[in-house]
Chain A
Amino acid sequence: MFNPKSRLEKRSKVELETGNDEMPDFTEKVPKDVLIHILTFLPLDEAIRSGILSKKWKDLWRNVTHIEFDEKKLIKPLLQLLLSRKSGRTKDVTKGTCWYALLLHRIMFRHYGDLLSFRILHSWETILFREVQSWVKYVLITKKGVQNLSLECEPDNGEMGERFLFQYNIPKLNFSNGIFQRLEGYAIVKGYEILAHSAMVYSSNIIFKNLSTLSMDLDLNHIRDAQDLYSVLQLCTSLQVLEISLPDFENTIIGSSNDYDFPYPISMFWEKQELCYCVHEKLKFVYIKAFKGNELEVEFVKYLIAKATMMKKVTIFCNTLTEDAENLLSLPKTSTNLSINFKVNAINIMN
C-alpha cells in the first residue's frame, strides 16, 4: 500500500456534497489558484468587484494572469459623467482620458502576480498615445512572462479599429489597422506606423528579434504601408508566420496617397527591395486576408515566391479569383516545398 501524503489523508475526511440545497461554502474547498483562474476569465471590473464577496476574495483579483482594460466597460460611468456635462468637449475628453489613465495605473500598481496577457481596448477618441506607451512600458518592465500584449482601438461610431500587440520575449505580435488620435494636435497615426516607428526606436530590442508570428492590418496597395511592412520585416529576424489583413472597406479617413518619389514605377516596389533576411531564410507561412488581386498585392506575393527559400505555404483569402492571382500559381518557386492556396469566399478563417 502506498504511503499517502498526510495532506491527502487529513482532507479525506471532508465529505463532498453535491446537489445540496444547503449551499455550503463551495469556495472553501476550491484552492485559491482555481478561484483566481475563474476570475481570469471575467472582465476586470467584475473580477475586482468579486473582492467584496468576502475577506477571502478581497485581494484574489490581484493575481489574475490576464488583464483586459475595456474602456467601454470600465469607463462607462466616466463617459456618462462626461456626456452629462455639456461644457467644452475636448477639455472633457482630455480630463476623462487622464482619469482613465490614472485608474489604469492604479489597477496596474495593485496587481501583483505575473501576467500572461494584457489587453487594452479603447475607443479612439479618448486615447492619449503617450499614455498607451507608458502602459506598455510599465507592463514590459514590471511583469514577467507576458505572452500576449495587446492594445486595441475598437471601432467607434463606424470609424476604424486599432490593435496593437506588443511584447518582449513572447513570440506573437498582433497589430491591426486603425488610428490613434493624439489629443495634442489631433495627429492621426496609423497603427502600423506606430509599429514601424517602434521598430526603429527599439531596433536593438528582442521584441522583434524573437518574434515568430506577426499579424497586422495594412493595405498593400498603399506604398507607405508597403514601406512600413518592409521596414518591420527587416527587423524581425526570426519571423516564420506573417498574417496580413487588407482592408475590406474604402479607406477614406487616412489619405494614404501613392505619390511617392521612386526612380521606378510603384508596381516595382517589392522587386526593387533588397533581400530581407527573414523573408529569405525564415518565413514559412503567409496568410493574406481580403486579397483583391490588385497590382501591388500580386507583386508582394510574387516577391515572396521569388525570394523565400523556406516558404511552405501561402494562403490567400479572396472573394474572387482574378487572372493575375491565378497566374501566381505558375510562377517558378524558390522554395521547393511551397504551396499556394486560394480560399475563395472565406474571409475570416485565419486560424
Chain B
Amino acid sequence: MAEKASPSSNSISLKTVDGKIFKVSPAIANQMLTIQPLIKDSDSSTIISLPDVAAFHLTKIIEYLEGKPAAAPSAVDAFEAQFVKDLSPEELKGLLIAVGYLKVNGLVDLMANTVAKLIENKSVEYVRKFFGVVNDFTPAEEAKCRQEHAWAFDGVDED
C-alpha cells in the first residue's frame, strides 16, 4: 500500500486500560463515535488509549461490530440475543460502561435494553444493589420523593 495513502486506510491501534493493544480497521473504529475525531489525525504509529475499556470489553465490542449481520432485522435480533446471552451481569455492566464511553453504534441500545430487562420489575433495593448505588437521601427526602410520585409506588410489592 502506498505510504501516502490516506491515514484512514491504516489500521488503528487502540490501547485498553489493562495495557493490551488492539489493531482494528478504520471501518470498525469509526463506529466508536468517541474516538472518531481522533482517527482522522492518526497514523500507523498512533495509539489511542481507552481509559474506561478493558481488553475483554474491547474484544466483545469488536466481536459485535464485526459479527453483526448487515441484512435482515431478524438476523440482527438473533445475533444480538446470542451476543448478550452468555454475559454475566457484571460483564454486562462493565461492557455498558465501555460501550457508553466509546458510544458504539447500535451496541448502546442493545446494552441499555439488556440492562433495563435485568432491573425491570425489581425492588428499589434490588436495583440499588445491582448498580451499587449509594442511597444519599435522608429518610425524609426519600419519603418526599415517594410522596411526589405516590401513584408509581402504590401497590408495588417489595420484591
Q: Nearest chain A CB to B134's CB is how many angstroms away?
A: 6
Binds B, one of A26-34, A139-147, A264-272, A291-299: A26-34
List B contacts of A76 (CB < 8 A).
155
Q: Compute how far the CA of A16 lies from the CA of B145 in the bound complex, rounded to whole angstroms.
A: 32
From A42, A57, A351, contact of B120 by CB (8 A): A42
Binding site secondary structure of chain B: helix
- Whether, in the assembled complex, A247 has its beta carbon less than 8 Å from a beta carbon of chain B, the answer is no
With A12-B49, A50-B127, A58-B145 as given contacts, are A34 and B135 in contact (CB-CB < 8 Å)? no
List B contacts of A20 (CB < 8 A).
90
Tell me if B51 and A54 are in contact (CB < 8 A): no
Total contacting residues, chain A, CB less than 8 A: 51
Closest to B34 in A: A8
Within 8 A of A (CB), among B42-58: 42, 45-49, 51-54, 56
Tell me if B100 and A31 are in contact (CB < 8 A): yes
Q: Nearest chain A CB to B10's CB is how many angstroms away?
A: 13
Tell me if B38 and A25 are in contact (CB < 8 A): no
List B contacts of A11 (CB < 8 A).
51-52
Q: Nearest chain A CB to B39's CB is how many angstroms away?
A: 10
Tell me if B46 and A351 are in contact (CB < 8 A): no
Q: Compute how far the CA of A78 lies from the CA of B152 in the bound complex, rounded to whole angstroms.
A: 11
Within 8 A of B (CB), among A34-85: 34, 37-43, 45-46, 48-58, 74, 76-78, 80
Tell me if B54 and A52 are in contact (CB < 8 A): no
Besides the known contacts A23-B132, A52-B146, A74-B151, 12 further A-B residue pairs in the complex with CB atoms under 8 A apart: A2-B42, A15-B17, A18-B54, A25-B132, A26-B97, A29-B97, A37-B108, A41-B113, A45-B151, A54-B136, A56-B133, A77-B155
